[in-house]
Amino acid sequence: MADTVNLVCTRERLGEVVTELRAGNVPDGQIVGDTFALPAGCEIASGWDTFSYQFGTLGAELWSETKTVMASAASALPSIAFYVIVILACMFIYRAIKSMLTPTRDYTSLKTVTFGDESAVRSDFPASVLSIILIFVIWGSFTGSALLPGFLHLPAPYTGEESFTYTVEDDAGNRDDAEIFVRVVGAGVAESEMVFDEGDGIAKNDGVEIGVYRSENVLWDSNDDVSRRENGARVVAINGQEFDFAFGTDDAGPAPSFDLDFAQVTITDRGSINVVPDQGMQMQPLYLPAPEVVWNRFIEIAKYGYQNVYLTVHLGFSLFRVIVGFMLGAAIGIPLGYAMGLSNWFRGWFDPIVEFMRPVPPLALIPLVIIWFGIGEVGKIFLLFLAALWIMAIAARSGVSGVRITKVHAAYSLGASRWQILRYVIIPNSLPEIFTGARVAMGVCWGTVVAAELVAAEEGIGKMITTASKFQNTDIILLGVIIIGLVGFGIDMLMRWAERSLVPWKGKG
């Protein structure tokens, strides 16, 4: 006798069924169809059915997601193609100019085989400069930046004053024309009273002020002698273009819409007039603020701080966490790596731990660390310690393992003791690997600290971004992203410089 039964229920019924089954005490020995009534919306299913049902729904959901993603990706293709064309155009123009001005005869320019010759491929500095300039040009043209000349701007949203005419007809068949004055004002412009002459006739002129990127529903009859409700008044023409529309019925068809020079005007099915000024092709400051806005915000925050915390404090806390976490990780990880590289027992002991912990991204530990240590400094530094620990241990281990046996043999036959070999051969030999590991670890730590601060922190550059996102301060979010990128880049440059000056023998053994 089976003591369990699988039910497959519709999604809508699932919650209720579970509640019902919990509430009703199902006695042992009930037989389906006999004493046990199947809940509505459910069917009995075999174990295989439930299994295949799970995967069926999963597959269906993932397939629809795939289609959405593919559609988004496909919609980006024209932009990518355009960008590639710009890159190639810049290249050909630059090369043409360069070869006209300075016909070079250096070693690389005389090579006939450059495709596939790795040594002939170097980073072209002018290309890097152009690429960065282009990013700012694109940024500026999408935001109407004041830094760019106007012809590079994409069409801006309409601002200014315009008017259009609407024609009203009431039940009695009386007709009258009136004007609607529209004023579209830019963001941050104070609202002001619109002054206009209402005119005469049964329809009076109206005025409406619309913020840029907004739209407005004009209740044109609010000041007229006739109204929609009492006189059955309705709009029959915009700018003299007449239309026929059965207001308030379901099968009225598409609402009449007029493409004016400055706006899209639509008659709603309630009879009011919806005015949507042209939005242009630029992005709203909420989505993408202009470069100079971000720069000004940077100056402001650098001077006065954000949300009562100075920018230096935000940055200082983030860097402090990274440096302390990395130092602790290196202080434990390097000796651990040496032990693993030098002793079978330690290698065996720590291999499972290191190999298991290494693929766990530190970000996945954030919730656990918050539960264990709270949101204070200890938790975040512990997280960064873990991030650095495994990387440094593995780097030190491979640094030790990478020592050529001839060097060790040579040291022994020159009379060195074990300690001397460790001190004068193994440690210096492992330093290049350790520096490579340190570069990786610093990068990972920097990424991890920002993510940890996004989740929980009092201050820090990640915290600044989270706070800004709550207030929709997109300029500060962008500023934070730029600072994070620049600091990360700076850290890597610093590590490379340290590597070059401290282990100049790297790769020359």
Partner 1 sequence: MTGLSIENLSMRFELPNGGHVQALEGVSLDLKAGELLSVLGPSGCGKTTLLNIVAGFLAQTDGKLVLNGHEINGPDAERGMVFQAGALFEWMSVRDNVSFGPRMAGKKKADYMGNVDHLLEIVGLQDFKEKMVYELSGGMQQRVALARCLANDPDVILMDEPLGALDALTREKMQSLVLKLWKETGKTIILITHSVEEALLLGERLIVMAPRPGRIHKEYRLPFADMGVGADLREVKKHPDYAPTREEILNMIWDMEEEIMGTAGEDE
Binding residues for partner 1, rule: CB under 8 A, are: 404, 406-407, 409-417, 420, 424-425, 428-429, 431, 503-505, 508-509
User: Considering beta carbons, is residue 13 or 407 the nearer one to partner 1?
Assistant: 407
Nearest distance in Å: CB 414, partner 1: 4
CA dist., res. 327 & res. 323, Å (int) = 6
What is the nearest approach in angstroms of partner 1 to the Cβ of residue 56? 50
> At 264, is the secondary structure helix, strand, or coil?
strand
CB of 421 to partner 1, least distance (A): 9
**Residue 72 is which amino acid?**
S
Distance CA 427, CA 405 (A): 14
Give me the least distance between CB of 406 and partner 1, in Å please: 4
For residue 431, give both structure tokens. Answer: 């330093």
Q: How far is the CB of 49 from partner 1 (least distance, A)?
A: 51
- Of 88 and 502, CB closest to partner 1: 502
Q: Which is nearer to partner 1, 22 or 508 (CB)?
A: 508
Q: For partner 1, which is the closer residue by CB, 175 or 506?
A: 506
Helical segments of 241-365, H only: 291-304, 311-342, 344-357
C-beta of 352 vs 507, nearer to partner 1: 507
Q: State phi, psi for 466 to the nearest 5 degrees.
A: -60, -45
Minimal distance, residue 409 CB to partner 1, in Å: 6
- Residue closer to partner 1 (CB basis): 178 or 426: 426
Least Å distance between CB 154 and partner 1?
55
Structure tokens at 494: 């610093």
The answer to whether 411 and 428 are in contact (CB under 8 A) is no
Nearer of residues 207 and 432 to partner 1, judged by Cβ: 432
The closest alpha carbon to 480, from 456, 450, 455, 440, belongs to: 450
Q: DSSP code of 480?
A: H
325 or 399: whose CB is closer to partner 1? 399
Strands of the 206-211 sheet, one edge to the other: 206-211, 175-185, 160-169, 234-238, 241-242
Cβ(354)–Cβ(391) under 8 Å? Answer: no
381 CB-contact burial (10 Å; exposed 0-12 / middle 13-18 / buried 19+): buried
- Rounded CA separation 184/213 (Å): 9
462, two tokens: 């990640």
Nearer to partner 1, 287 or 505 (CB): 505
Q: Give least dist CB 341 to partner 1, A.
A: 18
Least distance between partner 1 and beta carbon 484 (Å): 35
User: Which CB sits closer to partner 1, 311 or 438?
Assistant: 438
- Say what the alpha-carbon torsion angle 373, 378, 384, 386 is, to the nearest 10 degrees: -60
From the CB of 417, what's the least distance to partner 1, in Å?
A: 7
At position 402, the amino acid (one-letter code) is G
Measured CA distances, 501 to 357, 403, 497, 504, 506 (Å)? 32, 21, 6, 6, 10
CA-nearest of 313, 323, 316 to 494 is 323
DSSP conformation class of 453: H
